[in-house]
Amino acid sequence: MRSTPPWTSRIFSTLAAMVAAYRIGLASALTAWPVLLGRAIFYGVCLMVLVAFWDKVGAQRLAGTLAVRLPPGGLGVYIGVTEWVTLSVPAIQLRLEDDIRSGALEPHLLRPKPYLAQTIAGEAGGMTARLAMLAVAGLALLAISGRPWPAGLGLVYVGVLGVIGALIGVLLYTLVGLTAFWLRRVLPALLIMQKLMFLLGGLFAPISFYPGWLHDLAAASPFAAHLAFAGQEVLTPSISDFSRALAAQAAWLVALVLAAALIWRAGLAKLMKGG
């Protein structure tokens, strides 16, 4: 009788722990349905304000400015997509900061299941519920608003790139949370990350409006993989852009998982050495 190699069994055990954590995260989010509902209302309010801003800019159409390049329907749907992803990503950095600062992390280190993988999976479970709830809210708002729907398969592209983009967001916020090993508060790291999402992720304005060098820089960053690629599909949907975006997202997922693992190890080493 052949026995399973220890590393294979470890991988299966880790995956099983992650699936269990994912299911708990999903169930917890669904149980707290009033909070989900509140988040959907919040999403609607966000859209109302941000769309009003861009509608005001678009209505002026000042000659010699970028306003003339705004799409005829405005940026309402683009904003809806980028905010859908942004508001679905859970605040995993808060949990990591709490556990690292308070020492609550230490009991987890004695257990055979990997803390970080389980935490990410649990938060991804909660994120699934948010993505679904906000998607329904977003589609309902789009129908009510009377704005044009994305052409062709645009909505499918947005769905796929948005979900993967949200996962990239969880990993980016995980990196922020792990800075708690060195900083007492992760707030500065969080705010810098958020501003990079605004600038390079296209949360402030589509990166296609940027000058060439800034557009290239943004497109090559994980922030575009997090937000801009999904948003861009409502402006100019195309299968070739979708395929390129998917490949870039896959590459960033791998890179961010590796980065999280490395930073986690470095943080643990610091914790073990100095407490």
Which residues form the interface with another protein (CB under 8 A)?
A: 29, 32, 34-36, 38-39, 42, 45-46, 48-49, 52-53, 56-57, 60, 62, 64-67, 87, 90-91, 94, 98, 183-185, 187-189, 191-192, 194-196, 198-199, 204-205, 209
How far apart are the C-alpha atoms of 43 and 48, rounded to whole Å? 9
In angstroms, what is the minimal distance from the CB of 151 to another protein?
Answer: 26
Q: For the chain, report the end-to-end CA distance as a whole number of angstroms.
A: 45
In angstroms, what is the minimal distance from the CB of 120 to another protein?
Answer: 16
**Residue whose CB is less far from another protein, 120 or 245:** 120
**Residue whose CB is less far from another protein, 20 or 183:** 183
In angstroms, what is the minimal distance from the CB of 87 to another protein?
Answer: 7
Nearest in space to 153 (alpha carbons), one of 240, 248, 226: 240
- 217 membership: H or E segment, kind and range: helix 212-219
**Residue whose CB is less far from another protein, 16 or 35:** 35
Is the Cα dihedral 57, 67, 240, 152 positive or negative? positive
- Own/partner pairs, 95-103, CB within 8 angstroms, 24+ separation: 95/119, 95/123, 95/177, 96/174, 96/177, 96/178, 96/180, 96/186, 97/177, 97/180, 97/185, 97/186, 100/177, 100/178, 100/180, 100/181, 100/267, 100/271, 101/180, 101/184
In angstroms, what is the minimal distance from the CB of 104 to another protein?
Answer: 11
User: Helices 92-102 and 115-145 sit at what angle, rounded to 10 degrees?
Assistant: 150
In angstroms, what is the minimal distance from the CB of 94 to another protein?
Answer: 7
**Residue whose CB is less far from another protein, 12 or 33:** 33
**Residue whose CB is less far from another protein, 30 or 153:** 30
In angstroms, what is the minimal distance from the CB of 60 to another protein?
Answer: 7
**Residue whose CB is less far from another protein, 3 or 102:** 102
